[in-house]
Structure 1
Amino acid sequence: MSLTPALQDAVDAFQSMAEQDRLQLLLEYADDLPPLPERYADHPDLGERVAECQSPVFLFVEVDEAVHVHATAPEEAPTTRGFASILVQGLEGASVDEVLAVPADMPRLLGLDRAVSPLRLRGMAGMLGRIQRQVREQSAG
């Protein structure tokens, strides 16, 4: 298993907490979802919709010498925002190889299986899968 240092920090934070406190940490991440850069703020159509999420989540991935991930998720969907925030913060500035090495089951490492629905965990896995696909496509071209 290979996680970026920031993703490992998030996993460690969740795993160090009692199970009943993990949802609160996820909600704190939701409050910390970085705003979209101005070039995307008025153009959510430029992002990729994450169909696995019930809420309208859009991802924006850029690859230059590093990977940059941006996301939108509605405030009324705090768990989804929290998952998006973990990925945005956890993958920001990582190399292509680091992003592609993150295991598909990384959301399960947070230990939220009993705190959130399996559908929400699939949504986060969907976000990660779409980010990795975009990274592969952009780094190949």
Structure 2
Amino acid sequence: MTSTSELPPRLAELVDDFAGVGVKDRLQLLLELSEELPKLPAKYDGHREDMEQVHECQTPLFLAVEVDEGRTVHLYFDAPPEAPTTRGFASIMHTGLDGESADTVLNVPNDFYLKLGLGEAVSPLRLRGMAAMLARIKNQVRAGSAS
């Protein structure tokens, strides 16, 4: 399993936060993070056709990944307010990966989310959604880095 030393600092801090509390508090922390997901910029707000849907998520989740000239990754998520678990997962990704280099994002272990300890608190289906988010982010980073 992933060690937090393999993670970007903000993502490692989130993993440590989750690992440091009990199961009920992990859910509460996830709900709090769901409220911190940034609003979409105007270019994506109302333009889901310009974003990629993560079909593995139980609730409609759309994401867009931009890699700028300096190979810095920028993440954007659209998830309904009535889907706090999905929004929480997106917020973890945003907080932990937005602003990191493309190489850093690509080097995040695919199973890092297991370290959050949410397997006892949410269904395996929901965790697969989080794994799919990371896979889509990495695919878009690869595509954005190649152009």
Q: TM-score, normalised by structure 1?
A: 0.97
State the match for 1:39 in structure 2. Answer: 43
State the match for 1:81 in structure 2. Answer: 87
Q: Residue type of the partner of 1:140?
A: A
- Residue of structure 1 aligned with 2:142, choices 129, 136, 139: 136
Instruction: Structure 2: state its 5+ residue gaps.
Output: none
State the match for 2:126 in structure 1. Answer: 120
User: Do structure 1's residue 61 and structure 2's residue 65 form an aligned pair?
Assistant: yes
Deviating beyond 2 angstroms after TM superposition, the runs of 4 or more aligned structure 1 residues are: none
User: Do structure 1's residue 99 and structure 2's residue 105 form an aligned pair?
Assistant: yes
CA–CA distance in structure 2, aligned partners of residues 97 and 3 of structure 1 = 12
User: Could you report, residue by residue, the CA deviation over 1:35-75 in whole angstroms, capped at 9, with x for unpaired residues?
Assistant: 01111112111000001112110001000120000101111
CA–CA distance in structure 2, aligned partners of residues 4 and 37 of structure 1 = 24
Q: Residue type of the partner of 1:11?
A: V
State the match for 1:72 in structure 2. Answer: 78
| Percent identity between the two aligned chains | 57
Instruction: Structure 1: state its 5+ residue gaps.
Output: none
Q: How many residues align?
A: 141
CA shift, 1:19, in A, is: 2.1
Q: Residue type of the partner of 1:40?
A: Y
* Cα RMSD (Å): 0.9
